[in-house]
Each structure stands twice: as structure tokens, then as C-alpha cells.
Amino acid sequence: MNRSFEDVAVGEELPALSVPVTRTLIVATAIASRDYQDVHHDPSLAVERGSKDVFMNILTTNGLVDRYVTGWAGPAAVVKAIRIRLGAPNHPGDTMVLTGTVAAKHAEDGRVEIAVRGVNALGPHVTGTVVVQLNGRSEGSGA
Amino acid sequence: MTDYETRLQSWAGRELMAPRFGQDAVNVPMIRHWVEAMADDNPVYLDEEAARASGRDGIVAPASMMQGWTMRGYAASVRPAPEPASEPSAADELNGLLAEGGYTSVVATDSEFEFHRELVPGDRVSVEETVESISPEKKTALGAGRFISTVRTYRDANGEVVATQRWRTLRFRPKEKPEPKALRPRPAINQDNAFWFDAAREHRLVIQRCAECKSLRHPPGPCCPQCGSFEWDTVEASGEGHVHTYVVNHHPRHPAFEYPLVVAVIELAEGTRLIANMTGVAPADVEIGMPVVVDWIDPDPDLSLPAFRPAEKKGA
């Protein structure tokens, strides 16, 4: 389903998305993003470098907030910006819950800003904004 | 401005990484690998028909894959090509300057992507990086450090900008890890006194009692000093008593203790005496005859011991 620009209202909340942070997810997404830093796959080296375990890489955090917002906005949405700040690491065994709120709409170019937040047991892992461009009701195809 | 600050600030606006193309053009297998790992079921990344139905010419890569197209890959990560000794890279030079200030650790804090157009299979992507700013030293939870903001510009084969990414890392001096606290000397536990330390672990103060003549004794031993019997049991002490005598230790120091250290002989209400530390009282305020009550201490996970603190004055 594609959301049109008119369909969304400032203040609207996106349904929460719960992401179980498994060891396999951390490793598989690090490799999918071609990030071979040992802290993302080797537990003993991660501990040696001062971390309690392996942790999710940033490219994956970008990928997950991208998936979260476009999954809500629909296939016609075009991602114009992903601006994130990182906090507590995502370690295996944790769960990150993504939530989002429509923060602003720009009628001149159809852009919608969604404030996103991903929280795990340690606190906020990610806070930021994803900007998507949505079609108007009259345009757009498919849906 | 100090000389070091001037040298750091001279990096603002400097190129950190010259334009470099990713190893492979944007391609479907890498997109598939990504969307499977991310569990992203948006059809426009793999399904031509769905992509056209969304108003596009064909499939596109997820926006968030941008950085991935320019990653160095496995071989360069685990077997980096040696830099020619005569020409250290700009990044090495900046890392060296930061290390000079003690900023040897790094953590990424912000990534701010602006996408100019969607990438499609066949696109070649290059990246270049320029230093934007270096912050004054800030105190952070990780340690004192500086935020380094850079801008990465992603271009296609024609040199057109497809995305920019403001990238911020904290370069910090790792906090000194406190020395792990030394453990107290271990009590010499044997079959004759183990019951007493086992009870202490449960915060129970017990006194050994002769099963024949009923006299109490401490420290524990196998045989009654009064009647010679080897039979014994225990009673629970009330935990009340008074300071029979004490010393204040200043030297020599053992790393597990805080000094000055009060070591007291406590006479329990039941009449036996034991040696213990005191809590809740300054060494100068300890007095012989002072009424005390038991106050358990757990110096480390394997050790619990009775200590004694001044009893609250009656009626107070």
C-alpha cells in the first residue's frame, strides 16, 4: 500500500516495529554492508576492545530505519534523507523497538519528515529523522 | 590558541580521502543480500514489475546501501595494502595528530545522509571525504574527546553527486580503568571453623557451644577448653556487645582496606570475644566500652564478615 502525501498528518504515529537483535542478524547485516570490522563478528576481539560483546554496525542501523519508514510509507516513497544519532549499542540478545512520528510535511515538494527512535534495554540506540518524498493522491501508480 | 589547537584547526576544509570508486557497480546480488539480511520486503529492490508500478523505470537500490557500495571489502579490511612509507595518507596524518593529543579511541556518533537520486543497477559510485570541523575538547561519558565532522560526497560515473553524508566521530582518550580492587586476605577455613564462615555468608553470627558443659567459645575449635568434649553445637548471637579494646592501623597498608583502619576486640553480650572491623564511626570516636551492634559487610562476592557499629543510644 502506498501512502499519499495527503494521507499522512503531522503528529501521526507509525506502528512500532520490534527487531530481535540476534547474533546472526548482527553478523549477517555487517557482511551484507561489506563491513568486516572484527567488533561486528568476533566476540572475543569485541571484548578485548572494551565492548561487552559484538554490536550492530551503523550501516545496519541506517538500513533498519530505512526499512521501517519505507515499509510504512509504501513502495512509491523515495528516501531523501536519513539522519541518525547513535547511542547505546545493539548487542546480541537485546530487542530494539523502533517508533516513529510524522514530524513535518512540505507541500511544495511532497516531503514528509519522520522522527524515528530505536530503543533497546540499555536506552536509545538511535534517534533521528528520515525524510521521504510521497506522491500526491492524483499522481502515483500501482498502489 | 595553542600550537596543537592551531595544527588541529588547520584540518578544517582539508581533503581526508581522495575520490575512490567502489569495487563493484550497483548490482542485484548485493541488493538481494542486503534486503534479505535487513528483512526488508519492499518489492522495488528486486521486482522489476513492482518497481515500474511504483513509478520508477526499474528496480532501485535501497537508499541506505549508499555507503555499502564504497566499502573496501574483505581483503582490504583484513590485509590492508602497506602505505608507501614516504607518503602517509591524509587520514593517517590526522590520526597521528589526534594520537599526539591522546585521542586514540574512536566511536561514530552521527550519520546524516541526503540523497540526490536513487541508485540503479549499473551505477558506479565513488566517495571522497573532506574535514568539516574539529570541536574543542568535550567531556563525554567515554572520556575527554573531540568531535570530528567530515562530509562524504558520493558521485556517479559522470561525477554527478548522488548523495552527501555528514559523518561525525568522537575521538577520545579512553578513561583510565580503575584497578580492580584487591581482595581481602582469605580467612584460613578448615573443618573446625567452616561452620562459622558459612553462617557469616548468610549474615548469621553464631557462637560455638559445648554440647556437654554448654560453655560458649570463640574462635572455633574441635575441643571444649573447659571439659574436653569434642561434641558441640551452635547458638545464634544477639549481635549486641561492646568494644573491649581496639587499635587504629595506619601502616603497613593492605590494598583491600581503607585507612586509618579500626581493628577492635568486641565482647559479645553472650560473653565471647571476636576480632572485627568497625563501621559508621570515625577512628577518633571509638571508645573502650562503647556499646555496639553487628553490621554485616560483604567485601567481595565470596566473603561476608561481621563488623560492628555504635549502638543507637537508648531512647534516642
ipTM, 2 dp = 0.95
> Cα–Cα distance between B184 and B176 in angstroms, integer?
23
Alpha-carbon distance B182 to nearest alpha carbon in chain A (angstroms): 21
Residues B66 and B117 in one domain: yes
**A53 located within any domain:** yes
**A108 located within any domain:** yes
Which of A62, A116, A135 to substitute to test the interface with B, most B CBs within 10 Å? A62
Residue A119's pLDDT is what?
97
Residues B231 and B302 in one domain: yes
**B126 located within any domain:** yes
A20: domain CATH number? 3.10.129.10
Q: State which residue of chain B sits closest to A134, comparing Cα positions.
A: B54
**B150 located within any domain:** yes
Q: Which domain holds residue B153?
A: 3-26+61-172
Residues B98 and B227 in one domain: no
Domains in chain B, number: 2
Q: Is the minimum CB–CB distance between A141 and chain B shorter than 8 Å?
A: yes
**B56 located within any domain:** no
Residues B15 and B77 in one domain: yes
* B127 grid coordinates: 566517495
Residues B22 and B168 in one domain: yes
CA separation, residue B278 to residues B254, B259, B299 (Å): 17, 12, 13
Restricting to A residues 108-137, those with a Cβ less than 8 Å away from any Cβ of B are 135
**A124 located within any domain:** yes
Beta-strand pair B143-155/A94-106:
unpaired
Of B44, B189, B192, residue with least CA distance to B120: B44
Alpha-carbon distance A60 to nearest alpha carbon in chain B (angstroms): 8
**A16 located within any domain:** yes
Q: Do the Cβ atoms of A28 and B37 come within 8 Å?
A: yes
Residue A123's pLDDT is what?
94
Query: What letter would DSSP give residue B239?
Result: S
Residue B178's pLDDT is what?
65
Give tens-digit pLDDT for A121-130.
Answer: 999 999 999 9
Q: Which of A63, A64, A79 sits opposite B115 (nearest CB)?
A: A79
> How confident is the prediction along chain B (316 residues), in pLDDT tens digits per residue?
789 999 999 999 999 999 999 999 999 999 999 999 999 999 999 999 999 999 999 999 999 999 999 998 898 888 877 766 567 789 889 999 999 999 988 888 999 999 999 999 999 999 999 999 999 999 888 889 999 999 999 999 999 999 999 999 999 987 766 667 788 988 999 999 999 999 999 999 999 999 999 999 999 999 999 999 999 999 999 999 999 999 999 998 998 898 999 999 999 999 999 999 999 999 999 999 999 999 999 988 889 999 999 998 765 4
Alpha-carbon distance B76 to nearest alpha carbon in chain A (angstroms): 9
Residue A143's pLDDT is what?
41
Give tens-digit pLDDT for B173-202.
Answer: 877 666 677 889 889 999 999 999 999 999
Residues B206 and B285 in one domain: yes
Chain A residues with CB-CB distance to B72 below 8 A:
34
Calculate ∠ Cα B35-B40-B45, nearest 5°: 60
Domain boundary among B109, B141, B172: B172
**A139 located within any domain:** no
Residues B230 and B144 in one domain: no
Coil, helix or strand at residue B163: strand
B81: domain CATH number? 3.10.129.10
Domains in chain A, number: 1
CA separation, residue B286 to residues A93, B28, B163, B282 (Å): 51, 79, 72, 7
Residue pointed to by grid coordinates 518524498: A133
Chain B residues with CB-CB distance to A63 below 8 A:
34, 37-38, 40, 62, 64-65
Residues B121 and B200 in one domain: no
Residue A141's pLDDT is what?
46
* A38 grid coordinates: 572484527
**A141 located within any domain:** no
Q: Do the Cβ atoms of B64 and A81 come within 8 Å?
A: no
Residues B7 and B125 in one domain: yes
**B48 located within any domain:** no
Chain A residues with CB-CB distance to B152 below 8 A:
none
* A137 grid coordinates: 493522491
Q: How confident is the model at residue A142 (pLDDT cuts 50, 70, 90)?
A: very low
Q: Do the Cβ atoms of A66 and B112 come within 8 Å?
A: no
> Cα–Cα distance between B41 and B27 in angstroms, integer?
17
Residues B139 and B13 in one domain: yes
**A46 located within any domain:** yes
Residues B114 and B10 in one domain: yes
Give tens-digit pLDDT for A63-96.
Answer: 999 999 999 999 999 999 999 999 999 999 999 9
Domain boundary among B124, B141, B172: B172
**B186 located within any domain:** no
**B44 located within any domain:** no
> Cα–Cα distance between B8 and B94 in angstroms, integer?
8
**A143 located within any domain:** no
Residues B153 and B267 in one domain: no
The helix (H) or strand (E) run that includes residue A30 is helix A23-32
More confident residue, B92 or A119: A119
Alpha-carbon distance B300 to nearest alpha carbon in chain A (angstroms): 22
> Cα–Cα distance between A46 and A30 in angstroms, integer?
14
Residue B316's pLDDT is what?
46
Q: Do the Cβ atoms of B54 and A65 come within 8 Å?
A: no
Write out the residues of chain B at the interface with chain A, using a CB-CB cutoff of 8 A. 30, 33-34, 36-44, 50-51, 53-55, 62-65, 67-68, 71-74, 77-78, 108-115, 118, 174
Give tens-digit pLDDT for B76-85.
Answer: 888 877 766 5
Domain boundary among B137, B172, B207: B172
Which of B34, B79, B118, B162 to substitute to test the interface with A, most A CBs within 10 Å? B34
Residue B85's pLDDT is what?
59
Q: Do the Cβ atoms of B54 and A75 come within 8 Å?
A: yes
> Cα–Cα distance between B228 and B156 in angstroms, integer?
96
Residue pointed to by grid coordinates 580503575: B178
> With contact defined as beta carbons under 8 Å apart, do B167 and B152 qualify?
yes
